[in-house]
Structure 1
């Protein structure tokens, strides 16, 4: 805070923005500079329904329970309340985090995802050829809350229902051993293409070979891979919780409801989405084209930056 005061004394700033680590639990003291203060973008308030937490096995489940406890106890931090009280505007990555804020401060919070993407040139929607299996991709860290275990079970159900699927699971992490057990129990371990972490350009090349992106994350604050997948023309299957749902539209994704749903129904919803893409190529292609339009328009870095500038102008000019 001392450094901020010295800089403000030397330069006379008009506005202070605390660009956080993405976690709403960490307070800021920039509101005490005596100039308009924006807090955010904040994340971390996303939380999986208990029914889906139970689907996580081993130590990863314990991590989830501890994280939920930390989120609750953070709301008793007086420094955090002071930071919220000093802010003219709070930016949150998701509606979940906005709702996780202490209730007196939710009205001054705006949901504004902090990420964007510059879509590569020349990408077009790629048609699935007759007889070609539906190529489904999951990419992400192999952690319990990333939902890869739900993706595996959903693909297994789709295959059992006669859908021709090639499933690629890309990533590495501490939950991999549990995921392999899930795949063995579901009877599809040898039918999954297991790919460890790869350089970004190899991932981009892989996107080009796929037909859809399956990402049932339980509480991502953002979801860069969701934007990347759409930038390569892949329609998305995700859950209605966390960051991914803020990065898609009804034209670019099938969003599976978790509201009042148990684990089995969520998995069935994901499997139905996979089957839907496999059985309706015209609809899948329409979503592919919409995904490209979405990221090239609303989610481009230029549009995201100008959107932030507009919010800053409202704060500095008192609009």
Structure 2
């Protein structure tokens, strides 16, 4: 089939959405005549990587808005969201002039619904949008977990998301879509009523399971290590996590919390931890290298993902691949990724309820090694079947095949 993939984020050797764009492009090119539209600044890295690649590769069309937009973005004057809108406009203009009719036009990255793919309005063929997220918001009861200005900023984002869902361009594009893949339930609840075609769920990120080798945990020590890895910012819930650990630490002396990452809350976390009686059991590592991150996964027993707002979370899949059980809130992408047999999903509720529930989950897993091991093995098996890039490409191919069958004459 002749496929057009729109992937603003697409870069070799990267995770998150950049990895989604790249890995899906290479995987789909194995069975389709694939053209990928991406940013011009991705060109050098893509072409360098393709020099050593022997498999079927896509054709790439490199697009960027005018030089004035690039300058303003580099200066920090132009928000990414506005730049992305300009990029989508440039893509639509470029494709209008390009030759070629496509069987399927697939908007892949960015995953946000707030800037719809304008090419859907100009090109023929079936339209697929997704996996799409961005509809998740933080309940008012948890805004205090962001602290002062952070809570106000997050409240304004909640308002923006609600208003954006009424955007007639977004609604019109959803109606034109033959298939919309939602990355979480919250985004579907917000937008699903506008869809005239088929809808389904699909997480927006994936991993290459062959790059992760779990290590057997030592049975000679009864210490249990909880690991957090991510950007240290309000929406990641790391302030809730250290308070939950503080409460949990009152019940046991054989646990440790390791926090890997950096961000705007780094200094605040250091101050908070310094005031706690369990400060000697909380380690703030800062940013670490890829090799050091492998060691962090290897020494950990449980992965903690207390995110208050995330479309999904690549770190969760990486932890599951390393056979770590996951503690997370039962919402957004984590509610889909983490099944009951590979982690503990807890209700968020209010700030105090969130702390209590996280703390209880820590205590439950700290006291049950057999359950930790069983959940870890179930997690890797789940990633292998659902979230490894090979599995994700196969699933997209099934969707494509449905459109081929529907278009074939009787």
TM-score by length of 1: 0.92
Is 1:23 paired with 2:112? yes
Decide whether aligned partners of structure 1 residues 182 and 308 sit closer, same or farther in structure 2, where only a CA change above 3 A counts: same
Q: Are the equivalent residues in 1 in contact too, given 2:176–2:196 (CA < 8 A)? A: no
After superposition, the C-alpha distances for 1:116-148 in whole angstroms (9 at most, x for unaligned) are: 222246834634535432111000001101010
After superposition, the C-alpha distances for 1:62-88 in whole angstroms (9 at most, x for unaligned) are: 221121111011122211111111111
| Residue of structure 1 equivalent to 2:406 | 318
| Residue of structure 2 equivalent to 1:304 | 392
After superposition, the C-alpha distances for 1:181-230 in whole angstroms (9 at most, x for unaligned) are: 43345433343111111122221221011100011101111200001111
SS at match of 1:37: strand
Please list, as runs of the form range in 1=range in 2, the aligned pairs for 1:187-226 lying within 5 A after superposition: 187-226=277-316
Is 1:119 paired with 2:212? no
Please list, as runs of the form range in 1=range in 2, the aligned pairs for 1:26-37 lying within 5 A after superposition: 26-32=115-121, 33-37=123-127
Decide whether aligned partners of structure 1 residues 262 and 107 sit closer, same or farther in structure 2, where only a CA change above 3 A counts: farther
After superposition, the C-alpha distances for 1:251-294 in whole angstroms (9 at most, x for unaligned) are: 11100123xx3222221111111111111111111112112222
Q: Are the equivalent residues in 1 in contact too, given 2:175–2:197 (CA < 8 A)? A: no
How far off is 1:314 after superposition? Answer: 2.0
Instruction: Quote the Cα distance in structure 2 between the aligned partners of 1:197 and 1:68.
Output: 29
**Gap runs ≥5 in structure 1:** none
**Gap runs ≥5 in structure 2:** 1-91
Instruction: Quote the Cα distance in structure 1 between the aligned partners of 2:196 and 2:139.
Output: 21
Instruction: Quote the Cα distance in structure 1 between the aligned partners of 2:217 and 2:326.
Output: 16
Is 1:264 paired with 2:264? no
Decide whether aligned partners of structure 1 residues 58 and 135 sit closer, same or farther in structure 2, where only a CA change above 3 A counts: same
Q: Are the equivalent residues in 1 in contact too, given 2:384–2:391 (CA < 8 A)? A: no
Is 1:48 paired with 2:119? no
Aligned residues: 315
SS at match of 1:289: helix
After superposition, the C-alpha distances for 1:9-52 in whole angstroms (9 at most, x for unaligned) are: x2221111122312111122222213211112211111122211
Is 1:286 paired with 2:384? no
Decide whether aligned partners of structure 1 residues 206 and 131 sit closer, same or farther in structure 2, where only a CA change above 3 A counts: closer
Is 1:242 paired with 2:329? no
Q: Are the equivalent residues in 1 in contact too, given 2:244–2:358 (CA < 8 A)? A: yes
Please list, as runs of the form range in 1=range in 2, the aligned pairs for 1:153-232 lying within 5 A after superposition: 153-232=243-322
- After TM superposition, the structure 1 stretch with the greater mean CA deviation from structure 2, 139-148 or 249-258, is 249-258
Instruction: Quote the Cα distance in structure 2 between the aligned partners of 1:150 and 1:232.
Output: 24
Decide whether aligned partners of structure 1 residues 106 and 140 sit closer, same or farther in structure 2, where only a CA change above 3 A counts: farther
SS at match of 1:138: strand
Aligned counterpart for 1:72 among listed residues 159, 162, 167: 162
SS at match of 1:101: helix
Q: Are the equivalent residues in 2 in contact too, given 1:124–1:289 (CA < 8 A)? A: no
- After TM superposition, the structure 1 stretch with the greater mean CA deviation from structure 2, 264-273 or 117-126, is 117-126
Decide whether aligned partners of structure 1 residues 59 and 120 sit closer, same or farther in structure 2, where only a CA change above 3 A counts: farther
Instruction: Quote the Cα distance in structure 1 between the aligned partners of 2:282 and 2:322.
Output: 22
After superposition, the C-alpha distances for 1:228-247 in whole angstroms (9 at most, x for unaligned) are: 11111111000011222221
Q: Are the equivalent residues in 1 in contact too, given 2:262–2:287 (CA < 8 A)? A: yes
- After TM superposition, the structure 1 stretch with the greater mean CA deviation from structure 2, 274-283 or 55-64, is 55-64
What is the RMSD computed on CA atoms of the aligned residues?
A: 2.0
Is 1:6 paired with 2:91? no
Q: Are the equivalent residues in 2 in contact too, given 1:124–1:232 (CA < 8 A)? A: yes
Is 1:251 paired with 2:361? no
